[in-house]
Amino acid sequence: MSSLVLASSSPYRRELLSRLRQPFEWAAPSIDEARRECESAEHLVRRLAQEKALALAERFGEHLIIGSDQVAVLDGQVLGKPHDYRRAHAQLSAASGKSVTFLTGLALLDSRDGRCQVDCIPYTVHFRDLTAEQIERYLKAEEPYDCAGSFKAEGLGISLFRSTEGSDVNSLIGLPLIRLVEMLDTAGVQIP
């Protein structure tokens, strides 16, 4: 069995992957994450997940490398990480009373033979109608400025939702474990 490597510096993805109780290493890939002209959100996350895994293939030549990338889509527009209070407030204000779909690209690269499984897992969040005061209280409490969509579903961000829908709630946090387990099984790693 090959060792696992997570091509990410995200503490959220590391925490999720640790739930599978498999030893793994992690390393931050260095790639250009810019969206290409006319590139769909789904194609973007699939491409970036695969590129992240490929970026570590030379360094980890006998491994299964997991790449993942995520974007949030509201009214057909891709939302990035807000990075600051002002942008986060604007994102949550725009999402109030609406639905945001999170697209998570997932790639599993076998660096021994170059085979790569790639998928895109959608997950939709239906937001409550939010007041400016609710948004402000939330942002001050959790400061989710490094999260696409400006919230942390694993924390207080859940209070912003009316409902959610999708096949794997973990994809909302950035690593769709259900699909990853299927990919690992195909690659010869059984969990549990």
Two structure tokens written together for 174? 């950035």
- In Å, what is the CA distance from 151 to each residue of 82, 88, 142, 158? 10, 8, 8, 8
Place of tokens 């590139």: 39
Nearest-CA neighbor of 109 among 154, 53, 159, 175? 53
The catalytically annotated residue of 32, 69, 110, 129 is 69
Task: Decide if 75 is catalytic.
Answer: no
Nearest-CA neighbor of 124 among 85, 180, 164, 175? 164
Active-site residue set: 69
